[in-house]
Amino acid sequence: MLQRRLLQQGARLTATRSGDVGGAVTVLDSATAPERLRDIHTLIFDCDGVLWRGSDIIRNAPEALRVFRQQGKRLLFVTNNSSKSRAEYASKFGSLGLEVSPEEIVSSSYCAAAYLSSIGFPASGKKVLLLGWSGVEQELQLAGIPFIGGRELEVPAMDNIDSMKQLKVDPSIGAVVVGWDPNFSYSRLVYASVCLRELPGCVLVATNTDCADHIGGGRMMPGTGGLVRCVETAAGATAVNVAKGGEWLLPYLCRTYNLDPSRTAIVGDRLDTDIHLGRQGGLFTCLPLTGVTTLERLRGLPVGELPDVVVPSVAQLAGLD
Amino acid sequence: MLQRRLLQQGARLTATRSGDVGGAVTVLDSATAPERLRDIHTLIFDCDGVLWRGSDIIRNAPEALRVFRQQGKRLLFVTNNSSKSRAEYASKFGSLGLEVSPEEIVSSSYCAAAYLSSIGFPASGKKVLLLGWSGVEQELQLAGIPFIGGRELEVPAMDNIDSMKQLKVDPSIGAVVVGWDPNFSYSRLVYASVCLRELPGCVLVATNTDCADHIGGGRMMPGTGGLVRCVETAAGATAVNVAKGGEWLLPYLCRTYNLDPSRTAIVGDRLDTDIHLGRQGGLFTCLPLTGVTTLERLRGLPVGELPDVVVPSVAQLAGLD
């Protein structure tokens, strides 16, 4: 029995080499995993929980990417995090020793702008009300989409009914985009709700609907999902989720990057976003155990919801350790 | 044909006397409605949309209450609004010419405190984290339940991951209460989420889950429902809804006021809260058309979801107008 210590904070896994470790879940290793990617041309990587955790690189992740590139595979990096732009993400990759270009990065901040472009929003002459952070701001600017909100608080205080009755919103707003927003407030909620209820054709876009994210030390921080549910409930609207977990992203990726789903794999640690996206589109699905999903959780799943491959980490998927 | 003009802002209804006005929906009038209440001992009134709309009293509502009192019926006033305490509500009733004592008022602010008392919270030595307004503050004080939050902002700014990692919450918090909260913010959400995820036994209480409220001029303001969904999603918790629409309220009312459901009617304008509460508990259900529910909406309903009686307003239910 080969004892294998994971780099994952907290959880530890002891598994036999390629052994069955409970029910239908088999954890492959560096000897058996690479063969499963032989016919794969494109690898779509989730980032947090796969390549890094917070500010800690997963062991041998940079080397794994180099191996895949040497094999001639195309790499894409798709993250539901909306706080950074593509350019900001490229800096983060570089600082962790990962060689990645901005064009290979599909952050949900970028997806929000790409979705609006795909529906012709930039030519509409309309503005976005942004409940979000710098990443979405930068991507909207690059796509030529004007916005109000973002990091600047421009909403009057809505602390009584009279202020809400008298509120006049900018009538040129045509979309509300909700991302991770540490400036989220009741006043912003009122403004967004009035736009969505009263401005004809105003659409609601969610950068993602993730409920919460691990930030280390066993702590979780509220994700964008709660903010989206809040706006949806108050406005009686349904958001378009442009990230993993939604319906828009995969057809967009296939169209834009000319992907053949049968030759594409997704490597991600979340069942509800990464593995869901992959199964939804007929992709090959790989789950490394360096993120939020534990072996215990996998053991409880019906076979139809399991990923195609489970590996201790992305290193084993590349034949490394 | 008797033309009848409603006091309702916006919508107008033209109906024959006691006539069938579409499908299974019959709108009773002052000649036919009172007979249906003959065997009713207790009337539970919703307030906004039944007795008043915003700051406008519904015509003959004070006289209708006098008629019911003269008939020896007991009156209760149950509202999902959490912004006021019982005492504050009694003042509002008085200012509109409605003679009502605080003991007859069951506001959702009061329900939050009553629920916590019903589970023994005051004796636990624990505090409440309140995301809410003065009404809940006052009711918690009257029930002897200490709290932090409320109208005072006591939460440090949570605008980056480090601040969230370092956040230390008050370990004596045993419940998070979410009501209408114009101070709601991402920082408050983080604090509530950490309490619910990390403090053993910490419970989540919603004063109500109403999505939005009419404030006149065709405008709606975000209700408490969106804030509750936001906290639930971020914390991975399920709130106890102590108001109409939840499971707790009716058994509590029956126990506290010794109600016989078969002798009790509810008069309310909302299908999802008032009529739902009544049908759930086997009460007689009366819907006046002075609130949010229109005849068109009723016509689209299956018979099993219709109220027992539809009246133009509470005045006709008392044989007036």
Domain boundary among A212, A241, A270: A241
**How many Cβ contacts (< 8 angstroms) between chains A and B?**
123
Residue A189 distance to chain B (closest CA, Å): 7
Statement to judge: residues A215 and A131 lie in one domain: yes
Residue A174 belongs to some domain of the structure: yes
**pLDDT, one tens digit for every residue, chain B (321 residues):** 233 333 332 233 333 334 444 456 889 999 999 999 999 999 999 999 999 987 889 999 999 999 999 999 999 999 999 999 999 999 999 999 998 999 999 999 999 999 999 999 999 999 999 999 999 999 999 999 999 999 987 788 898 999 999 999 999 999 999 999 999 999 999 999 999 999 999 999 999 999 998 888 889 999 999 999 999 999 999 999 999 999 999 999 999 999 999 999 999 999 989 998 999 899 999 999 999 899 999 998 888 889 999 999 999 999 998
Distance CA B192, CA A184 (A): 15
Count of positions (residues) in chain A: 321
Statement to judge: residues B254 and B185 lie in one domain: no
B190 touches chain A (CB under 8 A): yes
Statement to judge: residues B59 and B157 lie in one domain: no
Statement to judge: residues B259 and B298 lie in one domain: yes
A29 is catalytic: no
Count how many Cα atoms sit within 13 Å of the Cα of residue A13 in the half-sphere of its side chain. 28
Q: Which long-range contacts (CB under 8 A, 24 or more apart) does B153-160 make?
A: B153/B183, B153/B185, B155/B185, B155/B187, B155/B188, B155/B190, B155/B191, B156/B187, B157/A182, B157/B187, B158/A182, B158/B186, B158/B187, B158/B190, B158/B191, B159/A182, B159/A183, B159/B186, B159/B187, B160/A182
Domain boundary among A241, A274, A293: A241
Statement to judge: residues A171 and A234 lie in one domain: yes
Statement to judge: residues A161 and A221 lie in one domain: yes
Residue B57 distance to chain A (closest CA, Å): 17
Residue A27 belongs to some domain of the structure: no
Residue B102 belongs to some domain of the structure: no
Statement to judge: residues A274 and A227 lie in one domain: no
A214 touches chain B (CB under 8 A): no
Mutate to test the interface with A, among B133, B178, B188, B230 (most CBs of A within 10 A): B230
Catalytic residue among B29, B39, B48, B308: B48
Domain boundary among B199, B219, B241: B241
Statement to judge: residues A191 and A143 lie in one domain: yes
A225 touches chain B (CB under 8 A): yes
Statement to judge: residues B121 and B183 lie in one domain: yes
Amino acid letter, residue A196? L
CATH number of residue A277's parent domain = 3.40.50.1000
Per the structure, the count of domains in chain B is 2
Q: Structural domain of residue A216, as residue ranges?
A: 110-241
For B233, which of A193, A194, A225 is closest by C-beta distance? A225
Statement to judge: residues A196 and A225 lie in one domain: yes
A48 is catalytic: yes
User: What pLDDT is stored for residue A23 in this prediction?
Assistant: 57
Residue A26 belongs to some domain of the structure: no
**Cβ neighbours, 10 Å, residue A161:** 16
Residue A10 belongs to some domain of the structure: no
Mutate to test the interface with B, among A195, A221, A232 (most CBs of B within 10 A): A221
Statement to judge: residues B279 and B162 lie in one domain: no
Residue B90 belongs to some domain of the structure: no
Asked if the Cβ–Cβ distance from A219 to B189 is below 8 Å, we say no
Statement to judge: residues A116 and A236 lie in one domain: yes
Tokens describing residue A175? 């979309």
Residue A100 belongs to some domain of the structure: no
ipTM, 2 decimals? 0.89
Q: In this predicted structure, which of A43-57, A65-79, B180-194 has the lowest mean pLDDT?
A: A43-57
